[in-house]
Chains A and B, each alone.
Chain A
Amino acid sequence: MGRVLPFTGQEADPGVLLDVDNVTLQYKTESRLVTATYKVDFQVHRGDRFVLLGPSGCGKSSLLKAVAGFIKPVEGVIRLNGTPVTGPGPDRMVVFQEFDQLLPWKTVLQNVLFPLRSRGVLKREAEERARNYIAKVGLDRFRDSYPHTLSGGMKQRVAIARAMATEPEILLMDEPFAALDALTRRRMQEELLQLWDDVRFTVLFVTHSIEEAIIVGNRILVLSPHPGQVKAELNAHAYGHEKSDGFAALENRIHTMLFAEQTAAAQVSKVTRAVRP
């Protein structure tokens, strides 16, 4: 069997939305320049639930931040609809992992409204959209609550509603459920899939959990660590929350892939250290 699995069960491919082309990302710490990703390329198609998966240090969050426009690549281009990304903007809304991403001085409704209004959406329409998406994430009753009165899962739901309400080209999620407890996380994954079924948006999702990647994604980009390089791109559209044999097999396959990479990397770094004077 080849490495690329056939894309089954769907109609014609709606085309590439996000094109990450040969992207190298670097950041500076106090004393050194660190390469986070090296010549990464992948394409997200419209309607994809595209997952960036890898161990910590593979630059998956940096990649997402680069797509969001917070980091500039030192090499390569990121194109959205063919236009290069130059800075942050509301066409690529981010849902962060941290709970403090909501503005504490605004209620749930105001938080969802704010990016709409500051983009110049008319008040009536903005309010209707905001209410609609708040209802979709099931927070009708908490519309007028302040963020500090909500639980972690509810805050993440607000963040998702806020991002969805601006109707971005692509939704960027940076380990959005990582800080939640296991039960809430599972429910949020289900709700996200449900929401996707309803609205059919494009999402780029970063996670370090193989299980979450298979559940949430239809397409998984596996990255190797230090620096992040593309290791594989896999299909996971057939799997949801039900644990089938296929699910387990895929989980295993990715697991071996990441583990093999880790041990290999350790050996390589040992070798290079030995070679250096």
Chain B
Amino acid sequence: MTAYTNTHQPPLVPSVRPEFERDVLDAGVIGDISRPLSLWERLTGNTLARRIFILALLGAAWQLYAMWADNPLMFPTLSETLTTLWTSLVDGQLLQRCLTSLRILLVGYAVGIVAAAVLTMLAVTTRFGNDLLSTLTSMFNPLPAIALLPLALLWFGLGEGSLTFVLVHAVLWPMALNTHSGFMGVSDTLRMAGQNYGLKGLRYVMLILVPAALPSILTGLKIGWAFAWRTLIAAELVFGVSSGAGGIGWFIYENRNQLEIPSVFAGLLMVIIIGLLVESVVFRSIEIYTVRKWGMQR
């Protein structure tokens, strides 16, 4: 009915309304335009606080489950593991093992990064380098580093040489792959801007491409670090000790053989703690002072 009557009305014409102007209120009158955040708001906004909360939650779950299972041989409680961790840290045994592992790890990591840098520089500057890199990465990236260990032992003997070799293999390919894709992703505008300054060759790569590709390079560094860490522990578990100074993987293996299960857990926890520290201290601060500050990453 209403629809019917509407069709008989004249076509809709917007009415012409009078113009007006207003004075805006002074900010002082409105009041709460910006206020400091409350403690709770600041706490929930803090990444570290949120992470500690998650860790505490996980720890509590561990403790409760272990107490309920009540089987210290299979699954010791968190408190027991922490006590063992503390004592083996204090008597210097575990710390010594950690340092041994970390030293080898850092050498392998550094060599891997340098090799990756050389390969990717070649790849961005020459077409041959580009083809070389993509062929090599597609060949070797899927090959598990640990699978090379038997060969490495044959070539470099039972010692740091073979460990370093498998570490370099573990780091090099993911690192090169990420860095290269980062370089490829640098926008044309930024490239032209760099060339416009008259930059060429290595200066162009270091001053324009590297910072512009830093998010991908950092991802490569992180993945490389994780691969290196995993490979090292696994390698130590496989062939263990070299000349009396075993690493943290050997520590775990040894204690399992002696059924010192809390020590095994302490060793595993140590691996986790080092991983957390490197991720949340080293990589995070690099990110905060670079890519986040520059607005390339949220």
Contacts and interface: CB of A to CB of B under 8 A. Distances in A.
Given A89-B198, A100-B187, A94 B192 contact: yes
Contact of B295 (A89, A96, A98, A146): A146
B196 A89 contact: yes
Contact of B294 (A89, A105, A114): A105
Q: What does DSSP make chain B's interface, helix, strand, loop or mixed?
A: helix
B189 A115 contact: no
A103 B193 contact: yes
Nearest to A119: B198
A70 B192 contact: yes
B79 interface: no
A203 to B, nearest CB: 15
Nearest to A163: B196
A95 to B, nearest CB: 10
Interface in A102-117: 102-105, 114-115
A93 interface: yes
A101 B189 contact: yes
Interface string A140-152: 0000001111000
A105 B193 contact: no
Interface residues of A, number: 26
Contacts of A89: 196, 198
Contacts of B212: 103-105
Given A90-B197, A90-B198, A118-B197, A100 B294 contact: no
A55 B293 CA distance: 40
A57 interface: no
Interface string B202-223: 0100011001101000000000
Contacts of B184: none
A103 B196 contact: no
A105 B212 CA distance: 8
Contact of B190 (A90, A103, A118): A103
Given A96-B189, A98-B189, A118-B207, A104 B195 contact: no
Contact of B198 (A96, A103, A118, A149): A118
Interface residues of B, number: 21
Nearest to B195: A88
Interface in A42-97: 65, 68, 70, 87-90, 92-94, 96
Contacts of B203: 118
Nearest to A94: B196
B296 interface: yes
A90 B196 CA distance: 6
Nearest to B193: A101
B297 to A, nearest CB: 10
Contacts of B272: none
B187 A98 contact: yes
18 contacts: A68-B192, A70-B192, A70-B195, A90-B197, A94-B196, A100-B190, A103-B190, A104-B211, A105-B211, A115-B197, A118-B197, A118-B199, A118-B203, A118-B207, A119-B198, A146-B293, A148-B294, A148-B296
Given A87-B195, A119-B197, A147-B294, 16 more contacts: A65-B192, A88-B192, A88-B198, A92-B196, A94-B196, A96-B189, A96-B192, A100-B187, A100-B190, A104-B211, A105-B214, A115-B198, A118-B198, A118-B203, A146-B293, A148-B294
Interface of B: 187, 189-190, 192-193, 195-199, 203, 207-208, 211-212, 214, 290, 293-296
By Cβ-Cβ distance, the 10 closest A-B pairs, closest first, are A148-B295, A104-B294, A115-B197, A88-B195, A98-B189, A105-B211, A105-B294, A90-B198, A101-B189, A101-B193
